[in-house]
Structure 1
Amino acid sequence: MTNTHSTGLRAAAFLLMTGASLPALAQAGPAQPPQEATTAGTPAADEEIASDQAPRTNADGLEEIVVTATKQVTNLQRTPIAISVASAQALEDRSVQSLLDLGDGSIPGLRVATFEARQSAVTIGIRGIVPLDANQPAREQGVGVYLDGVYLGRQQGLGAALLDIERIEVLKGPQGTLFGRNTSGGAVSMITKAPTGRFGLRASIGAGNYSAVNGNIHLDLPAIGPFSFKLDAAADYRDGITENPLPGQKDFGYYDRKGFQAKMRFKPSADFVADFAFDAGKDKNTPFYSQLINFNPNGYPVGTLTGSLPSSQVRPLPPLVQIVPDRVQKVADIGVPQRPSVDKTRGVSANLRWNVADWLELRSISAYRDVSVDQWDNVGGAHRPPVFSPNGLFSRYSLSYLEQNQYSQEFQAVGRLADQLDYVFGVYWFREKAFEEAATPSSLRWNADGTAYTVVDPCTGSGGFGSLPGCRSIDRGSRVTSSSRAVFGQATWTPPGMEKLHLTVGGRYTNDKKDGVLYLFNNQPSRCPPTLTTAPLCTLDLDTNRFNPLVTVAYEPTRSINLYAKYATGYRSGGASSRSVTYREFGPEDVKSYEIGAKTEWFDRRLRVNAAAYIMDRTGSQVDFSTVVSTGGTSTRNTLDTINAPGTTKIRGLEVDFIARVTDNLQLSGAYAYTYTKVPDTADPQRPGSPLVPVFIVFTPRNVANGAIDYELPLAWNNAKLRFHMDGNYNQGTQSFAEYATKNDSSFVVNARLALADIAFGNNLFTLAAWSRNLFNEQYIYRRDPSTSLPNPTTGAVNGVTGEYANFGTPRTYGLELSVKL
């Protein structure tokens, strides 16, 4: 496990370097003339945001940041919402190539982690609203993820390569009024750069350790009449970080991402803009290695390796199995069949904006998206299947194939009346279809004494079944159709003669419907009740109505201080667990949030300090209970039941961030987030009649702190600049599972980048950069599973115990990058 003392020393040293305050994601840059953010959402204003790549600053102060969190174009400091913004420069400084790279905690309050150890699905949480099981077609995320205003319905595919992101807005707290269902924790809004209508070419190529190579190209074409075009492509490749010793098989922690995007802007007049976009991505990856970190940590009686074993004894580990408790294994002890998972994403959208009058703009956002994930996960080797058996099968291959498609349509009316009333009204429609089939065949067989193993036939070697398509015994197969309809509105009123006071009132009415069926369970038609073979299939039929209000009062005693108090609500849709033998249905969860905040600027806008404190009460909390159970012999499978916890879950928090332009060349930034969570004790559905047990919110550190240094030094050579960036990110340990108090490691991860930037050769600008993520090679467990160290939850038997297994964070990566701008 991580060295806590060493971590603390590194964190203390770094925080002293940054001024001991903790990063709002911003960067130092050259001073630019001041530009006031537009408050009404006009086509011209939106185009300005999409095409502007320079920081907005005054002569000596900090850049002005514009956001669209209220569906209008506003100044971040004058928007009464807790928001973190990651600019394109900030993402580059941290070498962020996908959302997974934000898992180091560089945006406090935002939690990003893999589902299980898989890169094929991403768990995203904000303020303690964190989903666990992503492989559930009838389950929703609690944080909405948007791409250019289009909601992305599944967690699958979120690890794809990012394509020319201009900024990422992280909206914290319930966003149920303007963004709708499944934003009870907040929203992550990714905005890509729009066509400029002027020729431009930006490209980069890089290489790093673990045989990493990456490149991207962004081409803007000259306008042809009212039409402008833009093309983007990106490719990121890295070998695995843990070697798989089985010849011909993929290593663990590998990825090969490719993405493409084409955009067209049609602008026949100053009052009308139509943006059309197409994007496609393919992400091949393998999970991070799950390694055994201890054996029989609870000290149960140990029996013999071979021969019969009573239920009261633990079998010793076979000789080939290694225990590595404190670092990422460079080479796995057991080589396993491991094919790459393949994620494919695709989407088309049309975004139309018509400025009908000075007081009214009409908008339409139409989109179709689909995703498919062919999951191959064999990271456990001998570790996850919990028992050795002479000549027995092991190495459970977790296979899943998921497909999803969605259509969405949103209409908005946006504007301002008499310089006193800003308003947004709209209607929204969404329809989604998804299905998933999963299988867990074994892929290896022990010899009699655990000193060797063989690879079984991939079609028939696991009890007559195997891993290949067409050869699988389907553990579960489910499909679901979801639809959502909503009408919403929000208005901000500034009373006459009281320009410092702003009152915002809004509401959204939503109707959700969800129909699903578990058509296969253990390779047989599912039956409810399962004891009757003639019973009907297990089905889901939900029809939910919600009204989510919002009230905000903001007061600006000066132009540099914005104080606000906010009441907001949100909810996450209900569904059903396809891992449950009865397709267990669970209802929606609801959140009420009370928040106060302050956004301030000082010393002629050279220092910006923002703070927010909140109380969130969540009812109907969707709580997961998971376990590994035997299905006969040495075969095992994961089961999961999701229920609505009784009572009220309490979430309390404080968030503070700052940016300081110390000199014209030096900028310091930092942030701190405190999150307290308490879920009422809940009955474990897998242990009927048992006492209530504590449950926990996963992947939510109590304390998160980080800081960043950005320094820029002009050079007397071809107008070049020397740019230095370093950020440090501390995260306290968290739980990985709702039902276990066992925590992951705390961590302190430092990233750095040194660039010789904007070297002018003719009309071209070149940049050469060296970068590193996890510069000090911090070794920490981000996901720890104690389930295979505990007795069977139903029988109390310990003969399935081995120990805890875990996944470590990515070790140090580094590389060089060359970019050009024509």
Structure 2
Amino acid sequence: MSNINRIRAALLLGAAFASPALAHGQTVAAAVAAGTDAAADDKGLTEIVVTATKRETNLQRTPIAISVVDPTMLKDRHIQSLIDLADGGVPSLRVATFEARQSALTVGIRGIVPFDANQTARDQGVGVYIDGVYLGRQQGLNAALFDVERIEVLRGPQGTLFGRNTEGGAVSIVTKAPTGVFDGRAQAGFGNYGSYNGELHLDLPAVANVAVKLDGLIQHQDPTVKNPLDGQAGWNQFNRVGGRATAQWKPVDGFTATFSYDKARDENTPNYSQLVNYNPLNLPVGSYTGSTLTCPAGAAKCIAPLSPLVKVSGGDRMKVADIGVPQQVSVDDTHGFTANLKYDVAPNIELRSITAWRGVDTAQWDNSGGAHRTIFAPNGKFSRYSLSNLHQRQFSQEFQLVGHSDQIDYVAGLYYFNEHATEFAATPSSNQWNADGTGYTVLSPTVSGAITSGNQGWDRDSWFVQRASRAKASSYAAYAQATYSPEALSMVHLTVGGRVTKDKRSGLLYTVQGKSSAFTFDYDKTRFDPMVTLAVDVAPTAQVYAKYATGFRAGGANDRSQTFSAFGPEEVKSYEIGAKMDLVDHHVRLNLAGYIMDRTGTQTDFDNVDTNPASPTFNLHTEETRNAPGTSKIRGVEADLTVRPVDHVTLGAAYAYTYTKVPPTANPFLNNAPFQVYTVFTPRNAASAYADYEVPVGGDGMAVRMHIDANYASSQYSFQAEPVKTDASFVVNGRIALADVPLNDRGQKVTFSVWARNLLDATYIYRRSAANAAVLGEYANYNPPRTFGGDVSLKF
């Protein structure tokens, strides 16, 4: 990050925290939940409703650290999918691509960020949910967001009410339900890089107690890094389409049945991987004699020369790749059906059933590196084309009993989850150098003769299948949680909960390095996760709380390994204190949290090469996963501030400090030598701030609305086994809208807006590797460049 940007970050974020007049909501992140509503309400900040406890509660009366992203924040920051939260609008939530691929996302909270869960039998440590339904795979998480009511970011272990794979927290996406009253919204927009978007949301009048809602959308962006190879896709492009139909049936009072079906397709390409330096270790440069690299006299080690065609980008984001390579779009097809039933069995007791089938099919085409991750060798092949086909299907069933009495609120539930996933992958090279590196040819996607690791193509019939696996998982759980508020001490609220979970998982690694194999694993584990929270209302609008909770990430197996052997779960114990305050007649909202988390059984990846000539995986470079001994420490402080100093102005700021320390771990494949593990995508300091200003125009609800936000994160690790850090980041977004312009006297209104993401066109590395430093140089991926555009939306 440049010195100018550092100064801007310091001035903006320092001012935001120095003055109560510079803050807005739930989190800069949670932001916004007060957004437009707050600006329109002269009485102060409005109440925010969340469902983090399986019931609707006031955010300020819910003793959980929660950030809320509402439709206002989605519009102001032009958030179209979860990857757009990668700029840090919610400081404690970290979203990044897996590898360089937008087709699979890495999601982390409070230092719980998986390094490699992009497989058939491994899970993330933060659960992602849509309308209460858990999404089992990383693939498909970047699909376009449908009509979202809010996104709740639950920080800290959620092992009691949400269960497995929520040791860091949960991201709960809640969509808008049918209203039964005719209403329509349409939006169309365009921007730079050939982008365009369109949405249609239609609520139909209820007929025979059935209300129907229809949603459809399209989102498109051309590549931000062009591919010089004719007819091939560039990098960082996408085309997303999707639709959803929801029907809500209320045949009698007290019973509601909601059925929804959604289907979406995301066609995307990875971010470009750039060589940011050459020979950073200052090794002697060798020369080739034929295909043999010869070091200078007296040099025991040297580095291969760099092709004159390869551009070392340094600190610049490339606009056109220097090497043209085959690049097809990756395709993620997601679909799902949900049946949500609610029945009031008594005045204060509701029985619920959530039944869901979901699936994702991914065809991965990742040729992001070109010649930037491979050494030059005369007539040598280069540009690793990472191909993968994954198919996943899941079924879940949850029953909930939610009730309350004068002094007790309670929820109890039963949960079942079943998943089947298969994947096969190949890594052909797509290009070949000429003798001196001054030119190259593109190889054929098909090959003749025997298909081997050195003679393969990217046409499906020419794949040399490097690995193929299938896995299935089932999980059973029972849970209960109750909050007791004694009549004599009505300001005291004691919440106690627990969840028993039985996980079973098995799988077969049936192809390794093109050879049939029969490596299997079985995993069977039962565990209990408790939670205790004591909350005290120290004032009518202020609450303090202390909380103890545990959470876990399920065990499994690594399908990039040699043997597919099972590893166990990793567990987090969390101790948290916090305060939630509405002050100055609801014009200031301040939420604070401090926590200590201890993680054991950390799922750690070790690189290994099979040196047994008799093994079917001889000479294969693999990734083995083991549960590391010892305790990883995670410590943090979070602050969220929202202020409405005067009418029509809302300001906000949020900050997250995260400290992690992972003890050195013995590498079982290197004579138990100490192995340092780094926590990825977790900045020590992250902050966000924003300002909203609304100017009424006339007396018919029309207004000019202005928004600006700024988001900062310090440098961070991006590889578990490398001490190399990324750049610090500072990203500014903005939007100006002329909102709710009346078209007629029938309530139809139109809104015109212009927006910009990364307004200052900041350039920073979000992912960096030095793995090739001794043979070529460090490679990296950059954040997206500035994008901007305009939208027109119509309410009818």
> Which residue in 1 is equivalent to 2:792?
818
1:393, 1:446 within 8 Å by CA — same for their partners in 2? Answer: yes
Paired residue for 2:416, among 429, 445, 448? 429
SS at match of 2:577: strand
Amino acid at match of 2:31: A
Deviation of 1:637 (Å): 8.6
Alpha carbons of structure 1 residues 187 and 579: separation in structure 2 relative to 1, 3 Å:
same
> Which residue in 1 is equivalent to 2:754?
770
Question: How many angstroms apart in 2 are the aligned matches of 1:739 and 1:652?
Answer: 21
Paired residue for 2:514, among 520, 523, 532? 523
1:352, 1:364 within 8 Å by CA — same for their partners in 2? Answer: yes
CA displacement, residues 797-819 of structure 1 (integer Å, 9 cap, x when unaligned): xxxx1000000000100000000
1:407, 1:431 within 8 Å by CA — same for their partners in 2? Answer: yes
Alpha carbons of structure 1 residues 475 and 28: separation in structure 2 relative to 1, 3 Å:
closer
TM-score (norm 1): 0.92
Deviation of 1:27 (Å): 4.1
SS at match of 1:497: helix
SS at match of 1:329: coil
1:667, 1:709 within 8 Å by CA — same for their partners in 2? Answer: yes
Pairing 1:396–2:370 present: no
Paired residues for 1:175-324 under 5 Å:
175-305=158-288, 307=290, 308-309=292-293, 312-324=301-313
Alpha carbons of structure 1 residues 428 and 27: separation in structure 2 relative to 1, 3 Å:
closer
> Which residue in 1 is equivalent to 2:398?
410
Which stretch shifts more, 353-362 or 175-184?
353-362
Alpha carbons of structure 1 residues 30 and 521: separation in structure 2 relative to 1, 3 Å:
closer
Pairing 1:327–2:316 present: yes
Deviation of 1:19 (Å): 6.0
Question: How many angstroms apart in 2 are the aligned matches of 1:381 and 1:578?
Answer: 25
SS at match of 2:488: coil
Amino acid at match of 1:749: V
Deviation of 1:690 (Å): 5.2
Paired residue for 1:439, among 403, 406, 426? 426
Which stretch shifts more, 176-185 or 297-306?
297-306
Deviation of 1:58 (Å): 6.3
Amino acid at match of 2:546: A
Which stretch shifts more, 501-510 or 462-471?
462-471
Which stretch shifts more, 352-361 or 286-295?
352-361
Name the count of aligned residue pairs: 772
> Which residue in 2 is equivalent to 1:532?
none
Question: How many angstroms apart in 2 are the aligned matches of 1:188 and 1:753?
Answer: 25
> Which residue in 1 is equivalent to 2:776?
802
Pairing 1:481–2:472 present: yes
> Which residue in 1 is equivalent to 2:121?
138
Alpha carbons of structure 1 residues 767 and 629: separation in structure 2 relative to 1, 3 Å:
farther
Question: How many angstroms apart in 2 are the aligned matches of 1:443 and 1:231?
Answer: 43
Question: How many angstroms apart in 1 are the aligned matches of 2:331 and 2:139?
Answer: 11
> Which residue in 2 is equivalent to 1:15?
13
Question: How many angstroms apart in 1 are the aligned matches of 2:29 and 2:781?
Answer: 28
> Which residue in 2 is equivalent to 1:607?
588
1:67, 1:75 within 8 Å by CA — same for their partners in 2? Answer: yes
SS at match of 1:787: coil
Question: How many angstroms apart in 2 are the aligned matches of 1:629 and 1:396?
Answer: 21
1:428, 1:486 within 8 Å by CA — same for their partners in 2? Answer: yes
SS at match of 1:222: coil
Question: How many angstroms apart in 2 are the aligned matches of 1:249 and 1:183?
Answer: 39
Alpha carbons of structure 1 residues 13 and 638: separation in structure 2 relative to 1, 3 Å:
farther
Alpha carbons of structure 1 residues 550 and 690: separation in structure 2 relative to 1, 3 Å:
closer
Question: How many angstroms apart in 1 are the aligned matches of 2:499 and 2:575?
Answer: 18
Alpha carbons of structure 1 residues 515 and 657: separation in structure 2 relative to 1, 3 Å:
same
Deviation of 1:626 (Å): 4.9
Alpha carbons of structure 1 residues 30 and 488: separation in structure 2 relative to 1, 3 Å:
closer
Question: How many angstroms apart in 1 are the aligned matches of 2:35 and 2:473?
Answer: 49
SS at match of 1:470: helix
CA displacement, residues 333-370 of structure 1 (integer Å, 9 cap, x when unaligned): 10000000000000000000001112210000000000
Deviation of 1:549 (Å): 0.4
1:122, 1:134 within 8 Å by CA — same for their partners in 2? Answer: no
Question: How many angstroms apart in 2 are the aligned matches of 1:630 and 1:164?
Answer: 53
TM-score (norm 2): 0.94
Paired residues for 1:96-135 under 5 Å:
96-135=79-118
Which stretch shifts more, 134-143 or 167-176?
134-143
Pairing 1:341–2:330 present: yes
Alpha carbons of structure 1 residues 701 and 181: separation in structure 2 relative to 1, 3 Å:
same
> Which residue in 2 is equivalent to 1:6?
4
Amino acid at match of 1:769: S
SS at match of 1:97: coil
Amino acid at match of 1:444: N
CA displacement, residues 145-197 of structure 1 (integer Å, 9 cap, x when unaligned): 00000000011100000000010000000000000000000000000000000
CA RMSD in angstroms comes to 2.0
CA displacement, residues 406-448 of structure 1 (integer Å, 9 cap, x when unaligned): 000000000002x100000010000000011010001111100
Paired residue for 1:496, among 470, 476, 487? 487
Amino acid at match of 2:184: L
Paired residue for 2:652, among 666, 669, 692? 669
Question: How many angstroms apart in 2 are the aligned matches of 1:175 and 1:187?
Answer: 7
Question: How many angstroms apart in 2 are the aligned matches of 1:70 and 1:169?
Answer: 11
> Which residue in 1 is equivalent to 2:616?
none
Alpha carbons of structure 1 residues 514 and 507: separation in structure 2 relative to 1, 3 Å:
same
Deviation of 1:676 (Å): 0.4
Amino acid at match of 1:148: D
Amino acid at match of 1:6: I
Q: Unaligned regions of 5+ residues in structure 1, if any? A: 32-53, 527-536, 791-800
Deviation of 1:325 (Å): 1.2
Q: Unaligned regions of 5+ residues in structure 2, if any? A: 295-299, 614-618
Which stretch shifts more, 193-202 or 22-31?
22-31
Deviation of 1:524 (Å): 0.4
Q: Percent of counterpart pairs with the same letter?
A: 54
> Which residue in 2 is equivalent to 1:783?
767
Pairing 1:456–2:447 present: no
Question: How many angstroms apart in 2 are the aligned matches of 1:602 and 1:384?
Answer: 55
SS at match of 2:487: coil
CA displacement, residues 35-67 of structure 1 (integer Å, 9 cap, x when unaligned): xxxxxxxxxxxxxxxxxxx66986421010000
> Which residue in 2 is equivalent to 1:596?
577
